[in-house]
Structure 1
Amino acid sequence: MHQMSSDMRSCIEECLRCYGACLGMAMNHCLEAGGKHTEPAHFRIMMACAEICRTSAHFMLLGSPHHKHMCRECAEICEECAKSCEALGDMQECVEACRRCAESCRRMAA
């Protein structure tokens, strides 16, 4: 088994936290709130963010060298999701999870 750095462990945790926050808020908060919260562009970025976070964590857990590409893309999508959620308001949990994950993934991609 490969030795996992503390940075990678921390990034996996941030990715999984963001996955949970985006999926949870999309399925509970956004679907319940309706209106702008369920507009296709916003809902799609939330689903994309949840999925890339889950996938990035998975690649790091696999010890795949491709995790750097995944993390680079994850950081980009997390930033986009944070902007979308911030613009709607009342989604601070998601905004913060996305920003923390983006920062962690940028470090992993470097």
Structure 2
Amino acid sequence: MVEHAKHAELSKTLHDCMVACNHCFDACLKEDDVKMMAECIRLDRECADMCAYLAQAIERNSPFVSQLAKVCAEICEACGNECKQHDHDHCQKCAEACLKCAEACRQVA
């Protein structure tokens, strides 16, 4: 079976997480206390990039999907845990997407 067909659900979850992280990143930059949001912003960027990369790896049938999924799970979890600490709606939605994505990645790793 072709990898990207086998991982269709993960690809959707990765995309949803990337979108949530990009939205959170943008919204955090508009917060009054941007300095307080620095770690959230940094992790949003890392997470969105890693999700996009893993999705591309799946699409091209990379032999490293399981290793990349392990790293992606760690980054998603770190981002989710950081976002969870902030009361902003965009952070809470991002945390939910990240933690769901981390779980999905672990099932492939």
* Map of 2:70 onto structure 1: 72
One-letter code of the match for 2:64? H
Q: Say if 2:96 is the partner of 1:92.
A: no
Check conservation: 2:24, 2:41, Cα contact below 8 A: no
Deviates more, 1:100-109 or 1:86-95: 86-95
One-letter code of the match for 1:9? A
Residues 37-94 of structure 1 show CA distances to partners (whole Å, capped at 9, x for unaligned) of 2x2x322111000100110111011111111111100000000001110112222110
* Map of 1:23 onto structure 2: 22
Residue ranges of structure 2 left out of the alignment (5+ in a row) = none
* Map of 1:105 onto structure 2: 105
CA distance in 2 between counterparts of 1:54 and 1:23 reads 11
One-letter code of the match for 1:13? K
Q: Secondary structure at the match of 2:51?
A: helix
- TM-score normalised by length of structure 1: 0.88
Check conservation: 2:69, 2:105, Cα contact below 8 A: yes
* Map of 2:60 onto structure 1: 62
**Cα deviation, residue 104, structure 1:** 0.5
Residue ranges of structure 1 left out of the alignment (5+ in a row) = none
- TM-score normalised by length of structure 2: 0.88
Q: Secondary structure at the match of 2:77?
A: helix
CA distance in 1 between counterparts of 2:96 and 2:79 reads 10
**Cα deviation, residue 25, structure 1:** 1.5
The size of the alignment, in residue pairs, is 104
